[in-house]
Amino acid sequence: MRPGKGSRPRTRVRPAHDQAVEGFVVAVDRGRYTCLVGPGIPRINGDARATRPAKGAARRAGKAERTLVVAMKARELGRKGIVVGDRVAIVGDVTGRPDTLARIVRVEERDSMLRRSADDTDDIERPIVANADQLVIVTALADPPPRPRMIDRMLVAAFDADIDPLLCLTKSDLAPPDQLVSHYEPLGVPYVVVEKGSPLDELRERVTDRISVLVGHSGVGKSTLVNALVPQARRAVSHVNAVTGRGRHTSTSAVALELPEGGWIIDTPGVRSFGLAHVSVETVLAAFPDLNEAAVDCPKGCNHLGDDCALDRFVAEGHCDPARLESLRRLLTSREGSDDD
C-alpha cells in the first residue's frame, strides 16, 4: 500500500537558528568549509581590529578558546555561494573534533566582494573573496616581467568592489621600480617595494589590522610573502619557467591566515586571466571623481574613448591633469582584449 501524506501540513516557515554560532570562513575545499569559531574573529562591518592579539594570559586564553570547524552548506541556502572571508552562522557539532560536520545556515551581509569573470565574453560573476578591505596586487619587477594590463584589470576589480588597492612590487634586486611606479602615480595608488632578503616592515605595517587579499599571477612571490608575514603558514613556493617566463601554480585554493600583529591576509591561487565583463563603464569612472563630474556633458552612451567625449574638452581647459584622463582610458581599455600585455 502507498503510504498516506500524513496529517501535518508542510510549512514555509524556516527555523530562526537563534542559537547559531558565529564563524569566519578561512578555507573552502570541494563543498566543505573550514570556519574559525570563537573570540577574535572579524566581526560585522569588517572590523579586523577585533583580531589584534591580547597580551599575556588573555591572549593565550583567547587562542585556546578558538576552534576550527568543518561545515557544509545547509540546503535552505540554495545556490548561494560561500567564499573565504564570509561571516556565517553555524549550527550542529561545533566542537571541531575529527569526523564531525556542522552546517552553515546563514551568510551574514558582506561589506565587500572581490569578483572576476572567466573572460571578457563571460559576464557571469565569480566571487573570489568576501569582506576584504584591501587588495594587495603583487607583481614582480622581473622574472617574470610585470604585466601592466593585468595590474590595470585588478585595479578595476578593486574599484568595483570598493576595496583599497595596494601595489606590492617584488624582486626589486633584479630591476628598479621607477618606471612602473611612475606609470601608476597619476592614479594615486600606494605602493611598497620588496627586495629579496630585506625586512617587510612597511608591508607589515600596511596589512596590520586589515583584511588584505593578495592577488597576482604565478611566480611573483605571493606565497613567499605569506610565509614571511605568517611563519607558520608554510605555503608552497615555486620557480619561474625559464622557457615560458611564467610561474607554476603552487597555491591551489584561497586561504585566510591570521597575522601575529593583528589582521588577516588571504592568499589566493595565481591567476593568468582576470575577466571584467561584469564591470560597467560607470563603475570605473566613479573611481575618478574629478572626471566623473565632467562626464555629464558627454553624449548619451559615450564610452569615454572616442573623439566626441567631453572629457577631452574638460582637460584641455585645464580643469584636470591630462595624466588622469590617460589613466582612466587605460583602465577602460583594459576591460577589453587580452590582459597578457
Report the percent of the chain where pLDDT is more than 70: 79
The residue among 240 and 173 whose pLDDT is bigger is 173
Q: Determine which of 171-175, 206-210, 220-224 has the lowest per-residue pLDDT on average.
A: 220-224
Question: Cell numbers at residue 186, please?
Answer: 597619476
Q: Average pLDDT over the chain, rounded to whole?
A: 83
Burial (CB < 10 A; 0-12, 13-18, 19+), residue 50, is middle
Mean predicted confidence (pLDDT) in 142-161: 88
Res. 263 pLDDT band, cuts 50 70 90: very high
The one-letter amino acid at 46: G
- 26-30, 121-125, 155-159, 174-178: the lowest-pLDDT one: 121-125
Which residues make up each annotated binding site for Zn(2+)? 298, 302, 304, 309
HSE-up (13 A, CA, CB side) for residue 292: 9
Q: Which of 301, 299, 126 is nearest to 312 (CA)?
A: 299
pLDDT for 279 equals 82
C-alpha 16: how far from chain center: 31
Is the pLDDT at 74 greater than 50? The verdict is: yes
Residues whose CB falls within 8 Å of the CB of residue 139, separated by 6 or more in sequence, listed in order:
146, 147, 150, 151, 167, 168, 169, 170, 180, 216, 217, 220
**Is 13's pLDDT higher than 80?**
no
pLDDT of residue 116: 81
pLDDT bin (cut points 50, 70, 90) of residue 240 is very low
pTM recorded for the entire structure: 0.81
Residue 71's pLDDT band, with cuts at 50, 70 and 90, is: very high
Please name every residue paired with 233 in a beta bridge, in sequence order, or none if there are none. Answer: none
Which is more confidently placed, 262 or 287?
262
pLDDT computed for residue 10 by the predictor: 63
Least confident segment among 30-34, 167-171, 248-252: 248-252
pLDDT band at residue 172 under the 50/70/90 scheme: very high
Sequence ranges of the binding site for GTP:
170-173, 216-224
In which band, very low, low, confident or very high, does the pLDDT at 61 lie, cut at 50, 70 and 90?
A: very low
| Binding site as annotated, residues | 170-173, 216-224, 298, 302, 304, 309
